[in-house]
Amino acid sequence: MKRLKLNLDQLGQELEILDLEHLHSVKGGTGSYGGYNSWEELWAAMQNGYVPPEGDYYPGGSGGYGDYGWNDYGNYGGYNGGWPDWYGGGYGDYGTGGYGNYGGYGGYGTGIVIPYDVYGDNLLLEMYNLTGASGSTITAYKAVGYYDQFGQLVRDPITQNMTPPSNSNATSNCFGYALTDGEFYILGSITKESMEYGFGYQECDPSEASVVMIFTNGEATHAGKYDSTNDTYSAKGGGSQFYERTGMTKEQFYEPYINDGMNVNYNVGQTVYYKRSSGY
């Protein structure tokens, strides 16, 4: 036991000889990036075989889509599975942050980005927290980037920042179109209860309505805007191919793309009309 103590004392004396900058470069040092002071230093070390430990150091949010599933850290030492190709090594490359006003909801970007290609648009969506009725939180997703036909992330040629999709039909699904003025995708389940206590809408007569929803087995399956003055409907589908249509009759709202050869019929449940609750 005495010999072990002497060896430890000697080791401590030897470490005191090393300057702090050298210690920072040692694996497991004091830097925020796995012992390194920047993501560039960490990336360079990884090219030489260094495998960083898992942790909360990341330039791309909290590991929103890692190899271990949604909202978990990936196997890149806390980086998301696509880093650094997706994010370019900096929060400013994709995170919009700040507060805004989206369809009457205040909100802010979280910095968590997920891939989304359900309808073939190959998008990157940033998760936002919108403030709903009575201070509730609505999770929404904003299209902040997209991939070209070759699978390459489209970037601004000067800033190298990701470029949001230029096609307005790719910026929202039907729910985001109706409830956030086309700013976001609403991907979670919407029920009559969440319409009232989350989104701040209440059921009403069509003469008072501004939004129309179709519910199937208790969950919303389609949504649109309603103009009671002209008795017309506006809506879009889930992806850019299901483009925005305005000034539709009720029958056209149910089957908006039949003339395009797309046999999509949204009339598969209960049609409910909504108006904004007081306070919005």
- The model's pLDDT over 33-85, given as tens digits with 9 standing for 90+, comes to 555 655 556 656 665 666 665 544 444 433 333 333 333 333 333 333 333 33
pLDDT by residue (tens digit) across 114-162?
A: 999 999 999 999 999 999 988 899 999 999 999 999 999 999 999 999 9
**Number of domains, the chain:** 3
54 inside domain: yes
Which of 53, 72, 92 represents a domain boundary (last residue)?
92
pLDDT at position 57: 42
Task: Tell me, yes or no, whether 146 and 212 share the same domain.
Answer: no
pLDDT by residue (tens digit) across 225-265?
A: 999 999 999 999 999 999 999 999 999 999 999 999 999 99
Is the pLDDT assigned to residue 91 strictly greater than 70?
Answer: no
pLDDT at position 278: 74
- Residue 272 β-bridge partners: 213
Task: Tell me, yes or no, whether 88 and 59 share the same domain.
Answer: yes
pLDDT at position 197: 94
pLDDT at position 102: 57
10 inside domain: no
Task: Tell me, yes or no, whether 272 and 199 share the same domain.
Answer: yes
Distance of CA 10 to the CA centre of its chain: 53
pLDDT at position 96: 40
The answer to whether 238 and 121 have CB atoms below 8 angstroms apart is no
Instruction: Work out the pLDDT band at 113, boundaries 50, 70, 90.
Output: very high
pLDDT at position 79: 38
Range of the domain at 137: 98-179
pLDDT at position 280: 56
**Pairing state between β 69-70 and 65-66:** antiparallel
For 149, 153, 161, 194, 240, the CA distances from 189, given in Å and listed in that order, are: 31, 29, 32, 9, 21
225 inside domain: yes
**Length of the chain, in residues:** 280
